[in-house]
């Protein structure tokens, strides 16, 4: 099984996320918000509460997390309508892997509903047999990787991500990590390196995950 991180691995939705949060923050608080795509990108891979702590630190708890939940709900609807930017070669490469019989899933430290919003906006449902989110399961990435493997009867898997936290979660879950080097961060000692997404089938063949 090949399990993907989402942001920085399959797509970049930072512009849409920042825009949606700015709209909702101003709607709720009455004050203009100026979050940028770079603010969002530097927080990719964190849990949603950690992101709220960084981007909404001026608001006291518990209102900060209540506001974050409002932003997440609006973000899902906004993303479903407006989408993000798939990285070059994603759709074609996923199709190649599906044609080869590779079982694929998505696991992300995102809010509940974000992966379905990605799938709906980009018409990607045909490629993935399962997904899991921090906001749905309440579990961190390593546990969600194991959960998806268990649900789908996968005795081995590889995780594809773009930041060190992805590699750390992979190691905790007992699976190798492939670094999407075109993404938002760096990974020390990955099992393989992707300079572009279309490099993935060759990396999987070398690791024994694809014929």
pLDDT for the residue numbered 9: 98
β-strands 192-194, 158-161 pairing: unpaired
Structure tokens at 78: 């906004």
What's the confidence (pLDDT) of residue 47? Answer: 80
pLDDT at 48: 82
Domain spans, the chain: 2-12+85-207, 14-82
CATH 3.40.50.1000 for domain 2-12+85-207: yes
30: left (phi over 0), alpha (psi -120 to 50) or beta: left
Q: In which residue ranges of the chain is pLDDT below 70?
A: none
Q: What is the pLDDT of residue 2?
A: 98
pLDDT value at residue 44: 82
Q: Do domains 2-12+85-207 and 14-82 have the same CATH topology?
A: no
Q: Structurally, what CATH architecture does the domain formed by 14-82 represent?
A: Orthogonal Bundle (1.10)
| Burial environment of residue 211 by CB neighbours within 10 A (0 to 12, 13 to 18, 19 or more) | exposed
d(CA 29, CA 180): 37
pLDDT of residue 211: 87
Q: What is the pLDDT of residue 54?
A: 95
pLDDT at 134: 92
In this prediction, residue 117 carries a pLDDT of: 97
Rg (CA), the chain: 17
C-alpha separations of 37 from 18, 19, 73, 152 in Å: 6, 8, 18, 35
pLDDT (0 to 100) of residue 46? 82
């Amino acid at each position: 099984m090949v399990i993907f991180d989402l942001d920085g691995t399959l797509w970049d939705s930072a512009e849409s996320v920042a825009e949606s949060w700015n709209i909702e923050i101003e709607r709720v608080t009455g004050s203009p918000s100026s979050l940028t795509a770079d603010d969002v990108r530097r927080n990719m891979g964190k849990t949603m509460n950690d992101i709220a702590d960084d981007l909404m630190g001026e608001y006291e708890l518990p209102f900060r997390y209540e506001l974050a939940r409002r932003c997440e709900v609006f973000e899902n609807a906004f993303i479903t309508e407006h989408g993000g930017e798939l990285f070059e070669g994603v759709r074609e490469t996923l199709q190649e892997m599906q044609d080869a019989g590779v079982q694929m899933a998505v696991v992300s430290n995102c809010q509940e509903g974000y992966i379905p919003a990605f799938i709906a906006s980009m018409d990607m449902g045909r490629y993935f047999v399962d997904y899991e989110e921090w906001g749905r399961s309440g579990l961190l990435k390593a546990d969600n990787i194991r959960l998806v493997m268990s649900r789908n009867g996968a005795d081995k898997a590889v995780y594809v991500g773009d930041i060190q936290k992805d590699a750390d979660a992979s190691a905790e879950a007992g699976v190798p990590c492939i670094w999407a080097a075109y993404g938002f961060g760096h990974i020390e000692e990955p099992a393989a390196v992707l300079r572009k997404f279309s490099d993935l089938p060759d990396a999987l063949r070398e690791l024994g995950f694809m014929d």
